[in-house]
Amino acid sequence: MKVKFLIALMLGLAFNVNGQQIKIAFEVSEDAPTISKHIYGHFAEHLGRSIYDGFYVGDTSTIPNKDGIRIDIIEALKEIKIPNLRWPGGCFADTYHWKDGIGLKDDRPTMVNAWWGGVTEDNSFGTHDFLNLCEELGAEPFISGNVGSGSVKDFSDWLQYTNHAEGSPMAQLRKENGREEPWNVKFWGIGNEMWGCGGNMTVEYYADLYKQYSTFLTSWENENNLYRIAAGASGDDYHWTEVLMRDVPKSLIEAVGLHHYAVIDQDWGNKGSATQYDEEIYFKSMKEALRMEEFISKHSEVMDKYDPENKIDLVVDEWGGWYDVEEGTNPGFLYQQNTMRDAMIAGATLNIFNNHSERVKMANLAQTVNVLQAVVLTKGEKMILTPTYYVFKMYTVHHDAQLLPVYFDSPKYTFQGESIPAISVSASKDEAGKTNISLVNIDAKKEHKVIFDLEGLDVNNIEGKILKSEKIQDHNTFDDPDKINISEFKDFKLIKGKLEVSLPPFSVVVLSSK
Ligand code: AHR
């Protein structure tokens, strides 16, 4: 393998110097990890118009709905095979008291959503609504529990309410509220961003709290197979991961989280417009997004030190582009448009996750509807799908497929003397033996040509799909909802096991063997 890698690298460098085609080699190995479909997860927080006036319009709405959830959203998310949905936050999670969201809707207490716009939350969307929505979607629920302002008892009661078949007071309460069978929620986040909105804690303090919450959530042996995710670091806080890995016994933890948002220069006071930007800003966004590679590699290094057997997963439970809100909208609602720049962020980030699928087993784009890098935007009865949505649609081919590690040296995307890799690639082989390759060219101006060596892959026929547009700022609007959509891609040649592909500037391509 190493020899093949070196040859590929040398060839790649040779091609690169000549400024022509880049050679890409695969490692075909039965030991390669599976790309967990949960890498393609989503996130729905009680924030702005994500739940209310987003997913949930209520069952008296004139917008077609099933138990108050928009049918068009359900259908759109099924189409991208949404594997899991994280809820109720985010920062909201550590303020949320789940018992306020069960029972008769009219009797539910209200609260103020202090993190997000100070609006009144009437708790009309609660545990039953969320878990029934997940069932409808065929997605696994991922509940982030309240550690910051909750209690161990409340948290373990929540689990009993959702997962106990019978025999416990919480199971009885669930039945009284109209749900006989438990939902059996597997994924549980133990708090969120504990270094910030979760309680401004040190990791040393949180590690002790984590152990306490985690202990009372399940049995000693965790026979019911809960998947407990420790609230993780932001970006390059490797100390956070180090302490969790060092201090939490492996019997109490299944995964460690990580959050990274592509905020230009990490200047949170000046994030820039989602649609009005020039190439300099675009370049900076891409530079920030690609840091995901560095963060995952370095957090994985720390994890390898304490967990060489790879028993604990890395879960990137918040990621995406974050800009200033759209003009005239509530600053606390985080409503932003979604352009081809976001498609580049999505395509490149998902390739990074795929290529790290040995350690990264789950991820959640922030967020699903009307918030941050959303896949769906709504306005009254209208709904549009964003460029990011189409990237998720194209990449469904990788769900639970076996990774085909790729080796190449990317050409550079250079802007004003600074360079970042222009091309990102990941590949997999699915159960039916089909090979799928996803490629992203983030270069705003240049087409790049690549050649794949398909030796050992038994590929004779290929079909392609592309997401591209005229300008990087292009996006779908409520007046022009189909400006950006997937189209057929034919700019490739397959000759004697060599696949030559020409990638247009700022495009996402998926090639699949037939
Ligand atoms: O996704 C929006 C917010 O970003 C989440 O609530 C929080 O966890 C993060 O800071």
* Closest atom of ligand 1 to CA, residue 93: 6
Instruction: Determine contact, residues 275/386, Cβ cutoff 8 Å.
Output: no
Sorted by sequence, the CB contacts under 8 Å of residue 406 that are 6+ apart come out as 24, 25, 26, 27, 355, 425, 426, 427
**Residue 318 Cβ < 6 Å to ligand 1:** yes
Residues of the chain with pLDDT under 70: 1-20
**Residue 232 Cβ < 6 Å to ligand 1:** no
* Residue 5 identity (one-letter amino acid): F
For residue 29, what pLDDT is reported?
85
Q: Which residues pair with 218 in a beta bridge?
A: none
Cα distance between residue 417 and residue 407, in whole Å: 26
Q: How far is the CA of 149 from the centre of ligand 1 (A)?
A: 17
User: Tokens 């270094």 label which residue?
Assistant: 195
Q: How far is the CA of 63 from the centre of ligand 1 (A)?
A: 29
* Closest atom of ligand 1 to CA, residue 320: 1
Residue 137: how many CB atoms within 10 A of its CB?
Answer: 21
Q: Whose CA is nearest to atom 1 of ligand 1?
A: 366
Q: How far is the CA of 174 from the centre of ligand 1 (A)?
A: 30
Q: Please state whether beta strands 382-385 and 111-113 pair in parallel, antiparallel, or not at all (unpaired).
A: unpaired
For residue 229, what pLDDT is reported?
98
155-174 residue pLDDT tens: 999 999 999 999 999 999 99
* Closest atom of ligand 1 to CA, residue 367: 1
Q: How far is the CA of 240 from the centre of ligand 1 (A)?
A: 18
Instruction: Determine contact, residues 315/360, Cβ cutoff 8 Å.
Output: yes
**Residue 11 Cβ < 6 Å to ligand 1:** no
SS3 category, 230: strand
Q: Whose CA is nearest to atom 3 of ligand 1?
A: 90
Instruction: Determine contact, residues 178/67, Cβ cutoff 8 Å.
Output: no
**Residue 320 Cβ < 6 Å to ligand 1:** no
Catalytic residue ranges: 193, 318
Q: Whose CA is nearest to atom 8 of ligand 1?
A: 90
Residue of 248, 233, 252 whose CA lies nearest to 296: 233
Q: Whose CA is nearest to atom 7 of ligand 1?
A: 90
Q: How far is the CA of 424 from the centre of ligand 1 (A)?
A: 27
**Residue 93 Cβ < 6 Å to ligand 1:** no
What's the gap between Cα 170 and its chain centre? 32
Q: Rounded to whole angstroms, what are the CA distances from 458 to 218, 434, 468?
A: 47, 9, 29
For residue 432, what pLDDT is reported?
94
Cα distance between residue 506 and residue 344, in whole Å: 7
Instruction: Determine contact, residues 43/366, Cβ cutoff 8 Å.
Output: yes
In sequence order, which ranges of 403-510 are alpha helices (DSSP H)? none
7 token code pair: 């040859």
pTM to 2 decimals?
0.95
**Residue 198 Cβ < 6 Å to ligand 1:** no
Which helix (H) or strand (E) is 406 found in, with range?
strand 406-407
Q: Rounded to whole angstroms, what are the CA distances from 490 to 166, 464, 501?
A: 57, 6, 9
Q: Whose CA is nearest to atom 2 of ligand 1?
A: 90
Q: Whose CA is nearest to atom 6 of ligand 1?
A: 90
For residue 19, what pLDDT is reported?
52
**Residue 193 Cβ < 6 Å to ligand 1:** yes
**254-293 CB burial, b ≥16 within 10 A, e <16:** bbbbbbbbbbbeeeeeebbbbbebeeebbbbbbbbbbbbb
**Residue 94 Cβ < 6 Å to ligand 1:** no
Q: Please state whether beta strands 376-379 and 382-385 pair in parallel, antiparallel, or not at all (unpaired).
A: antiparallel
Q: How far is the CA of 85 from the centre of ligand 1 (A)?
A: 15
Which helix (H) or strand (E) is 257 found in, with range?
strand 255-262
Cα distance between residue 285 and residue 268, in whole Å: 13
The DSSP line for 325-354 is PPTTS-GGG-----BHHHHHHHHHHHHHHH
What's the gap between Cα 193 and its chain centre? 16
**Residue 317 Cβ < 6 Å to ligand 1:** no
230 token code pair: 């420790």
416-425 residue pLDDT tens: 999 999 999 9
Residue 177 C-beta-side C-alpha neighbours within 13 Å: 22
**Residue 192 Cβ < 6 Å to ligand 1:** yes
